[in-house]
Structure 1
Amino acid sequence: MRLLHTMLRVGNLERSIDFYTNVLGMQLLRQKDYPDGKFTLAFLGYGPESETCVLELTYNWGVDHYDLGNGFGHIAIEVDDVYKAVEAIRARGGKIIREAGPMNAGTTIIAFVEDPDGYQIELLGPRS
């Protein structure tokens, strides 16, 4: 078994694809409209679906926002240097909601970014 993807519902597919590709550096791997179901799926990631876990963005036609609730936590992305990643994301227009620094109860350096729909993305350095 392996983890295939995580799905997020988005209110504006083009805006979300722009964020994940141009701000976070993912690639749009595939996209397909489903007219009978009135939705579009887009799959993005840092490598092919056959090798890595990817992100599925679901746009339900005519729905422009969702209540995120309090059950979902975040998506985590490994970066080479959290401090440099934060500055690069900020320079590309990304919203930093927690600056890079040690986590609350430890020494691991983390930061948090927010996507256009309010989903949180944690940035972590490589594991030693």
Structure 2
Amino acid sequence: MRLLHTMLRVGNLEKSIQFYTEVLGMKLLRQKDYPQGEFTLAFLGYGNEDENTVLELTYNWGVEKYDLGNAYGHIAIEVPDVYKAADDVKKMGGKILREAGPMNAGSTIIAFVEDPDGYQIEFIGEDHVRK
């Protein structure tokens, strides 16, 4: 078994694809409309789906906003330099929820950003991921 993808429902597919590709550096791997179901799926990631876990963005035609609830946490992305990654997002107009710095219960450096639909994304340094 392996983890294939995480699915997020989005209100504006083009805006979300732009965020994940231009701001976070993912690649659009594939996209398909499903007219009978009135939805579109887009798969994005840092590598091909055969060897990497990817992100599935689901756009239900005509739905512009979702209630994220309080159970969902975040997506975590490993980055070489958390400070630089957060600064890069800020320079591109992205929303920073938590500036880069040590987590409140340890020394691991993290930052949190928000995607166009309000989903939280944690940046965590590659030197602290598996400690």
TM-score where L is the length of structure 2: 0.96
Please, what is the CA RMSD of the aligned residues?
A: 0.7
Cα deviation, residue 89, structure 1: 1.1
Partner of 1:121: 121
Q: Deviations over 1:89-125 (max 9, x none)?
A: 1111211110000001000000000000000000000
Cα deviation, residue 69, structure 1: 0.1
Q: Counterpart of 1:6 in 2: which secondary structure?
A: strand
Cα deviation, residue 35, structure 1: 0.1
Stretches of structure 2 that go unaligned for 5 or more consecutive residues are: none
TM-score where L is the length of structure 1: 0.98
Partner of 2:11: 11
Partner of 2:107: 107
Partner of 1:81: 81
Q: Deviations over 1:21-76 (max 9, x none)?
A: 00000000000000000000000000000010000000000000000000100000
> d(CA) in 2 for partners of 1:77 and 1:63?
27
> d(CA) in 2 for partners of 1:96 and 1:26?
18
> d(CA) in 2 for partners of 1:23 and 1:95?
11
> d(CA) in 1 for partners of 2:79 and 2:96?
15
Stretches of structure 1 that go unaligned for 5 or more consecutive residues are: none
Q: Counterpart of 1:76 in 2: which secondary structure?
A: strand
Q: What is the count of residue pairs matched by the alignment?
A: 128
Cα deviation, residue 127, structure 1: 3.5
Partner of 1:24: 24
Q: Counterpart of 2:72 in 1: which secondary structure?
A: coil
